[in-house]
Homo-oligomer: A and B are copies of this chain.
Amino acid sequence: MTEELRWGQELRWGLIGCGKISHDFGKSLDKAEKPHKVVACAASSLERAQKFAKEHFPHATPYGSYEELLKDPHIDAVYVGVHNEAHCPWAAKAVEAGKHVLCEKPFGTCAGEVRQTIKRLKNRKTFLMEAFWSRFFPAWRYIRNIVDTKEWGEPRVVQANFGYPHEDNWRCNERAEGALTLYGLYVIMLSHYIYKRKPEKVSVIGAKDKVHDSDEWATIVLEYGPQQRAVLYYDSRTWLPQNAFVSFDKGHITLPEYFWCPEKLIRWEGETWYNNEHNKKTIEFPLNDDRFFNYNHSSGLRYEADHLYEQVQKGRIESDFHPLSATLEIVETMDEVRRQLGVHFPHDDRFK
């Protein structure tokens, strides 16, 4: 059990990494329901941290190293917003420094690393969660409620598309960064979120980038039994509609752009065949003004921050909505996709 937050007590955040996503996460806290405050930020140089603090979080203490930030006793929770390879190591150090941790996705480079890290941290006293922000959006909660209540019976199909032209500097197996970790991750996450278990079968059709030997695009079919499946597609060369749907026995939901951070959903009750407009209903979940963020719909990062707040307030060390077991299962599926595509990360050997 963690030390509980008192009602209305401010949660003091330290940002590890002063990049665009740390900016957006920190700024989203202004829109949150719970009281959060960015009190420190750390970059690989003091100058960068100072510049970042001065521009965006003038009341925050800048640190020239992540270690220094972790020593700051005035920090309750740490947001790990660095590159993939550094997620697990810094999440672990932050936990060991007694901080609550929200760690960017994917939590680990491969299943081996995630398993080792979870084992290493099993006696922790603080909260640890992968920052799978999509899960906490009201539209995603709405769909999950249909799953949990079995309102429309069982889920049958998850389909999702995610793609846009991909900068080549992301194609780096050495750093565990590629199209799968950037886009594929989200379509796989959605499927795991709906079925709440590992697929029985993973089938992949896709291709590698010839120059970088990293993955370029893939169609992934996840089978959870004969009548439950996901048909997923990601592509790092082309603009795709970033949409998804989830079909149940008695209805389906479509998530328009952007399915992973949606402001609305469309529900179709019953058959979608005749008179299809009659059983169609759009439900809106508007976000705040997004103009001052780097990424689309980033103000929605606040939902995961509020979830962490609530969980910490309950004295939990793991999320009851996105537990570490789910994080591990997602990365296991990603490993299998890479295996079938022939994409090898050096981390696969390191964490065997």
Q: Which residues of A contact B (CB under 8 A)?
A: 156-157, 159, 161, 163-164, 203, 205, 207, 217, 219, 221, 226-227, 229, 231, 233, 235, 237-242, 245, 247, 251-252, 254, 257, 268, 271-274, 276, 296
Contacts and interface: CB of A to CB of B under 8 A. Distances in A.
Given A205-B203, A221-B205, A237-B227, A273 B296 contact: yes
The 7 A-B residue pairs with the shortest CB-CB distance in the complex, in nearest-first order: A156-B238, A203-B205, A205-B221, A239-B272, A231-B233, A238-B247, A241-B245
Given A233-B159, A271-B239, A205 B205 contact: yes
B159 A272 contact: no
Given A205-B205, A226-B207, A257-B272, A237 B156 contact: yes
A247 B252 contact: no
Contact of A221 (B156, B219, B251, B272): B219
Contacts of A163: 157
A186 to B, nearest CB: 14
A159 B227 CA distance: 22
Which of A157, A164, A235 has the most chain B CB within a 10 Å cutoff?
A: A157
B239 A273 contact: yes
Nearest to A273: B164
Contacts of A240: 157, 159, 245, 247, 252, 272
Nearest to A237: B227
Contacts of A252: 239-241
A133 to B, nearest CB: 17
Contacts of A296: 273-274, 276
A331 B241 CA distance: 29
A203 B340 CA distance: 14
Given A159-B161, A239-B273, A241-B252, 5 more contacts: A205-B205, A219-B231, A240-B245, A240-B252, A240-B272
Given A219-B231, A233-B231, A238 B205 contact: no
Contacts of A242: 272
Contact of A238 (B157, B217, B241): B157
